Structure 1
Amino acid sequence: MSIQFWCVRAVHCVLLCLTAAFALPERSTDAADRPNIIWIMSDDMGFSDIGCYGSEIETPVLDGLADHGLRYTQFYNTARCCPTRASLLTGLYPHQAGIGHMMNDRGYDGYRGDLNRECVTIAEVLRPAGYRTYLSGKWHVTKNTRPKSHDDKHNWPLQRGFDRFYGTIHGAGSFFDPNTLTRDNEFISPASDSEYTPDQFPGGQYYYTDAIADHAVRFVREHRRDHDAKPFFMYVSFTAAHWPMHALENDIAKYKGRYDAGYDAIRKARYRRMIELGLIKPSSTELFPIEESAKETEHWDWDKRNMEVYAAMIDSMDRGIGRIVESLKTTDQLDNTVICFFQDNGGCAENYGRGGKPQPRQDTPSLEPLDAEYLQPDMQPKQTRDGYPVRTGKGVMAGGADTYIAYGRAWATVSNTPFRQYKHYTHEGGISTPLIVHWPDGLNRDGELEHTPGHLVDLMATAVDLAQADYPTTAHGGHAIKPMEGQSLVPTFRGQSIERDAIYWEHEGNRAIRQGDWKLVAKGARGQWELYNIANDRSEQNDLAQRFPDRVEAMAALWTAYAERANVLPLNPKPKKKQ
C-alpha cells in the first residue's frame, strides 16, 4: 500500500524541564499517527560486509529486513567514526557540529572535539515533539570521557536529549571489558552490574555487542509497558566490527575455514554476488585490486583467523538485531516502526595491534585478578579481569579478551568491494554504506533497490518529517541553531526523487563533492583534485580531471564555498597545544 500521510494535531504545551541546558516547546500528537524510529549503526564495516550487499557472512536478519524493505545503493557516511556520529545526530556536516576530526581541540570551531551549542541532536528535536528517546551503544561525540564533575557531562547522552542510555562514552575498547561503560549518567562495571547479570548473557559471558542489543530490547519492552501513549526514537550504536577482533568462541567456530580461499577469491565472489543483486553494474564498476604488499604470506593462518573473528562479530550483531526485531513483534510495534540500518565509515585498514613480535599466551594468569567493581580505564586494557596480560602482534590468534588486534588492509579491501580506499578517505571505499529501510506500515517496495544518492545528514530531516517535529531556530539558552543540511528521504520511500545541489565531505584533508553523477575527490590536504563520473566509474579508476578542467574548477569552487561556510577551514589543523 502507499504511504499514508497523517493529519497533524499539534497543540503547544508548557516547556519541558530537561536535564540539558535548553528547552523547546512540546507538541502533543497521538502516537498512532506517527511511527517509532530506530537507527541501527555498525562500526568500521565495508559496503559489502552483509549478506544482502554481497557478503558470505551470514546476516539473515538484515537480509530479511531488506527483503521486506528498501536498499539504497548510493548512500554515504563521513569516512570516520566520531564525525559520522556528530553528523548523524545533528543533521549537519561534522565541522558545523564541532567535530571535524576526533575528540581533541584543534583550536578552531570546526575542530573542538565536542558537540557545540549551535546544533541540536535528534533526541533534542524529537523529545519536545512527544517522543521518548533511547540510546544503546557507542556515543563518541565528546572529549569529556573522564568527567570530574556533573558539569563536564554537558555533552553526554542524557544532557543532549536522551531519556535513557546504556553504552560507552569513548570510541573504542574491549568487547569483554569496555571502558567508560555507562548506564544513564553513571559509570558501571560489567562484572558488578546488578541490572545485567550472567544469567542474561546470550553467549554465556559478557560481550558488548550482546549487551547493546539486550538493552535495546529492554528499552523497547519498557517503553511498551510504561509509555505506550508515546512513540519512541531509539539509536542503537554497535561497536561491531571495530577493532579489536573480539568474538565468542562458538561464533568464531562457525566461520572456521570460511576464508581458506584467500583475499582475492573472497573479493571476487562478493563482486559477482553484488552484480547478481543489482547493487553494481560490471560496465560501470571494476574491481579495484588488492595491493600485494597488504597480503600476509608468512602469517596467513593468523590473518585468516582475523577475518574469521571479524565475520563472527558481524554474525553476532545480526542476531542481536534479530532480538530487537523480535521485541518489536512481541510488543506489537514492528509494523509502525521505521528501522534504518547503516554504517559509520568504510572498512578499516588501520594496523592496530598487528606489529611487533607476538606475545605467547600463558597457561595460568600472571597478574592479580581485578575486583568486580573495578572500572577499566583504558581503550586497550592491560589485562583481563582474570589476570591474563592483553597481547598484540602477528601470530597472536584474535578473538579472546587477552588479544587486541585489527584485521588489516587486505581484509579491509575485501570489506570495501569493489571500491577504492578505506576509512579516513573520501573515495568510495571510505564513505559508501548500505542503507536498509524497513517500515511495514509505510513502505510497499519490498526488496527493491533505491539508487538515489543520499547522506547521513538526510536522516535527521527524514526523522523530523516522519515525526512531524519542529526543527528549532534557537536552543540552549538562545543560541542560534544551524539549519539542517539534509533532505528528507520520505519521497524515495514512494519511488520519487529528491533534489539537492551537492553532497560534501572533508576529513583529515581528504575531501570530495558529489554533484549529480559527478564526483570531485582528493586524497590529503595537498592532493590534487580527481574527477570521476560515478554512473560510469563507481570504483574511481578513470580520472577525468584533465579532460574536463572547467567542471573541476566549477565543482572545486562549490566545495570551497561549502568549506568556508561550514567551518572546514583550515584543512586538517594540528591539535591545540596544551597550556
Structure 2
Amino acid sequence: MSKVRGSVTSVFLACIALSSAAVHASQVANDSRPPAAKAPNIVLILADDLGFSDTSPYGSEIQTPHIASLADMGMQFTNYHTAANCAPARAMLLTGVDSHRNGVPNIPETIPPEQKRFPHYQGTLDPKLNTVADVLQSAGYHTYIAGKWHLGNSPAQLPSSRGFERSFALGATGADNWEDKPYLPIYDRADWYADGKPASLPEKFYSSEFLVDKTIEFIDSNRQDRQPFFAYIPFQAVHIPVQAPQEFTDKYADTYLNGWQALREARQAKLKDLGLIPRDSAMVTMATMGDWDSQTDVQKRYQAKRMAVYAGMVDAMDFHIGRLIAHLKSIDEFDNTVFIFTSDNGSEATGHNNSRDLYGRAIVKFLGYRNDYETLGLKGSMNNIGPSFASAAASPLAFYKFYAGEGGMRVPLIVAGKPLQFNEKRLSKSFSFVTDISPTIIDIAGAAYPDDARKLVIGRSLLPLVKGEVQATYGPDDAVGYELGGNAALFRGDYKLVKITGKIADGQWHLYNIAKDPGETQDLSATMPALHAEMLAQYAQYAQDNHVLEMPDNYNHERQGIINGLNARLPNLRLYGLLIGAALFLIAFAKIIRSRRKH
C-alpha cells in the first residue's frame, strides 16, 4: 500500500514539476515577444495668417526646408479649405463641428451687437462639445498645447478645461512676438495662460522659439510612461505684428525689390511648374493691389523690407519646427509621429499699403510701437505687409483673410509621418475642409468620438485618402456650406458658389470651377444657370439648418472691431472720465475757496 502511495505521490510531484516548467516556458515566451506597438504620436502645427504660397512646397521663395521635408514624406493637399478668419477656423479644426453650431461663427472682436444677443454667436467654443484633445485624452494620450487659443478666456473656456493636460496658451487674437505686450488697444494685457492660470512671459522671448521650447518641455515631462502624445502648436507666425530676428530678415534683404505684382506672378509660375495648379489657369489683379512703379525708390525699399521681415518670420517658424523634429529624433519618437501642418486662414491684409502715412504713424505711436526702416521687425516694432503683398502671399488666388475668396480660404495642408507608411510623396487635388482635421486625427489615433458627440460632427476622416484607399473624401454631389461675416460659400465637387461682401467686392453670388480655375477668374453663373440655382438653394438650406444670421446693413469687420474694442474699454473710459471730472471739480472748488478767503 505504501508503495502505491509513493508512486502516486511521485506522479503528482512530477505533474507539478511539468506544470511549473510549462508556466515558466510560457512566461519566457511572453517575455521574449516584442511589446505591443504604441499608438502614433500626433503633432498638429498651425500657422497663423499664412498664405497659400508662403512655403517652398507651395511655390514660395521663402526657405522652409523642414516643412518641405514633411511634404516629401507625406501627402500635400492643393484643394484644402478653412474659414477665412482665425477663431472660427480653430473651433472647426478642434471639433469637426460647423462654426455656427460650435459657438464661434466669427471672432468675438467683430461680432455686431445685433448678433451678440444670440447664444450661438458669442465667439467662444461651446462647452458641451468634445475637442479632439478630449477624445484623445480619453484614449490614453497625453495632450499638450503651446500657442494661440482665441476660443475663450474664462477658466471653463481655456485649454486646461477642454482636454489639454498641459497648456501655455494665448487667449487673445494676437500679441507681440518679442515681449509680454498686447498689439491692439482693445486689450489690457496679452492674455497668456499657463495650465489655466494667468501667466507672464520670460524676459528672453521670441514666440516661435518659446512655443517649440514649451512643446519639448511638455513632451519630455512624460517620456518614461510610453503613452503617446498629441501636441498642438498654434504659432503666432505670421500674424501681425510681423516680427522676426534680424538674421532671418537679412536673408531676404534684396528679395522683394521688384514688388508685389512680380512676386505674385513668380509664385503663380512656380505653382504651375510644381503641378499644384492647372497649367492654363489664370489669375486676377486684385483691386487693392497698389501700383509698384508709382512708389518712390525710398518707398520701394521700405515696402520690400516689410515683406522681408514677413519672409524672415516664416523662415524662423520653419527653423523652430526643425528643432522639434530634431528633438523627436533624438528621443526616438520621430519614427512614431504623424505631423499635420496647415494655416488657420489666408494672408492678412489689414493696414494700408503705405504704413508710413500720417494715419499709420499715428496708430503706431498710440500703441507705443515704432515702424522705422532700420528696426523694422525687431523688438518694439510694428509691422504688417498690407493688401498688396498680402495678395502676393495668397498667389495665385483672389482675396485674402476675412473674405470667402480662395485667397482667404485655400491654404496649405500637409499630412506626413512614417506611421502612415508613405513610400513616396503624394499630391491630393480633391476637396477637403477644416472640419476634416479632427476626425482625421482621431482616426489616426485609433480612437472614436463618444456616440452623443458624433452627431454634430460634419467633418470626414482624410486617412483613407492619405493611405490611398480612396481617391476623394467628398463625392461630386456632396455639399459643404460656409458663412463668416456676410461672406458665404457652398462647395460641391469641383464647383464653388461664393458671395463676397464689403467695399472691395460686389456682394453678388458667383459660380466658379475651382479645380480648373483656382484663381476664380471665370464666373459660370450665366453659362450654368441650373447649377447656380441648385447650389443657391443648397446654400439657403445650409443657412437655415445651421441658424446663420443675416449681417446688419453696411457691416464692416474693421469698423466693428474698433467699436467693440471701445465698448470693451468703456468701463475704464467712464472711470477715467469720472476721475478727471472729480479732479476738475476739486480744482475749481479749491479756487473758489481761495478766492473767498482773499476777500
What interval of TM-score do these two structures reach, taking the shorter chain for normalisation? Answer: 0.7 to 0.9
Q: Deviations over 1:70-121 (max 9, x none)?
A: 1011011111111111111111121211111112562223311111134211
Over residues 152-178 of structure 1, what are the superposed CA-to-partner deviations in whole Å (9 max), with x where a residue is unaligned? Answer: 311000011100011311111110114
Match of 1:177 among 176, 179, 182: 179
CA distance in 2, matches of 1:120, 1:209: 28
Match 1:259 to one of 256, 261, 271: 256
Q: Contact conserved, 2:370 with 2:381, CA < 8 A, in 1?
A: yes
Note if 1:138 corresponds to 2:115: no
How many Å separate the matches in 2 of 1:97 and 1:396? 44
| Structure 2 CA distance for aligned equivalents of residues 64 and 52 of structure 1 | 9
1:121 aligns with 2:137: no
1:280 is aligned to 277
8 Å CA contact 2:482, 2:490 repeated in 1: yes
Is this contact kept in 2: 1:246–1:399, CA < 8 A?
yes
Aligned ranges 1:322-333 → 2 under 5 Å: 322-333=322-333
Which letter does structure 1 place at the counterpart of 2:369? V
Q: For the residues of structure 1 that align with 2:440 and 2:107, how far apart are their CA atoms?
A: 26
Which stretches in structure 1 are left out of the alignment for 5+ residues? 1-29, 145-151, 193-204, 362-378, 384-388, 475-479
Selected match of 1:527 from 484, 507, 522? 507
Shift of 1:217: 1.9
Aligned length: 499
1:391 corresponds to which of 338, 350, 370: 370
**What one-letter code is carried by the residue in structure 2 that aligns with 1:217?**
I
Which residue in the other structure is 1:448 paired with? 426
Is residue 74 from structure 1 mapped to residue 74 from structure 2 by the alignment? Answer: no
Whole-Å separation in 2 of the counterparts to 1:547 and 1:461? 37
1:310 Cα offset (Å): 0.1
1:359 and 1:87, CA in 2 relative to 1: closer, same or farther beyond 3 A?
closer
Moved more, 495-504 or 106-115: 495-504
- Matched AA of 1:53: Y
- For residues 499-510 of structure 1, the aligned pairs below 5 Å read 499-500=474-475, 501-510=478-487
The answer to whether structure 1 residue 354 and structure 2 residue 355 are counterparts is: yes
The residue number in structure 1 matching 2:398 is 420
Aligned residue for 2:418, secondary structure, equals: coil
Number of the residue aligned with 1:247: 244
- The 2-side partners of 1:295 and 1:268 are apart by 14
Deviation at 1:467, TM superposition (A): 1.9
In the TM superposition, 1:469-508 aligns within 5 A as 469-474=447-452, 482-495=455-468, 496-497=470-471, 498-500=473-475, 501-508=478-485
Which residue pairs with 2:108 in the alignment? 103
Whole-angstrom distance in 2 between the partners of 1:551 and 1:360 = 49
Deviation of residue 356 (structure 1)?
3.9
Instruction: Compute the displacement of 1:519 (Å).
Output: 0.8
Alignment CA distance shift 1:271-1:427 (3 Å) = same
Aligned residue among 228, 231, 234 for 1:231:
228
Q: What residue identity is the alignment partner of 2:540?
A: T
Helix, strand or coil at the partner of 1:137: strand
Aligned AA for 1:134? Answer: Y
Q: Secondary structure at the match of 1:265?
A: helix
Q: 1:473 offset after TM fit, Å?
A: 4.1
Counterpart Cα distance in 2 of 1:92 and 1:292: 33
Alpha-carbon separation, structure 1, partners of 2:173 and 2:493: 34
Higher helix share: 2
AA aligned opposite 1:156? L
- Please give the alpha-carbon distance, in whole angstroms, between the structure 2 residues aligned to 1:551 and 1:290: 27
CA contact 2:159–2:169 (8 Å) conserved in 1: no
Distance 1:357 1:552, change over 3 A: same
CA distance in 1, matches of 2:289, 2:464: 45
Q: Which runs of 4+ in 1 moved over 6 A?
A: 358-361, 379-383, 572-579
- Structure 1 partner of 2:210: 211
Per-residue displacement from partner, 1:290-337 (whole Å, max 9, x unpaired)? 447524514222111110000000000001111111121111111221
Q: Contact 2:437 / 2:459 at 8 angstroms: preserved in 1? A: yes
What SS is found at the alignment partner of 1:461?
helix
Specify the code of the residue in structure 2 equivalent to 1:492.
Answer: L
Residue identity in the other structure for 1:44: D
Distance 1:292 1:566, change over 3 A: closer
What secondary structure does 1:166 align onto?
Answer: strand
1:551 counterpart = 2:548: no
- SS of the residue corresponding to residue 313 of structure 2 reads helix
Residues 358 and 391 of structure 1 are in contact (CA less than 8 Å); yes or no, is this contact kept in structure 2? Answer: no
Report the equivalent of 2:20.
none
**CA 1:102–1:66 in structure 2 vs 1: closer, same or farther (change >3 Å)?**
same
Other structure's SS at 1:245 match: coil
One-letter identity of the residue aligned with 1:335: D
Matched to 1:166, the amino acid is: F
Q: Deviations over 1:436-457 (max 9, x none)?
A: 1112122325222111210111
Q: TM-score, normalization: structure 1?
A: 0.81
Q: 1:221 is matched with which residue?
A: 220
* Contact 2:60/2:267 (<8 A) preserved: yes
8 Å CA contact 2:432, 2:474 repeated in 1: no
**Does 1:62 pair with 2:58?**
no
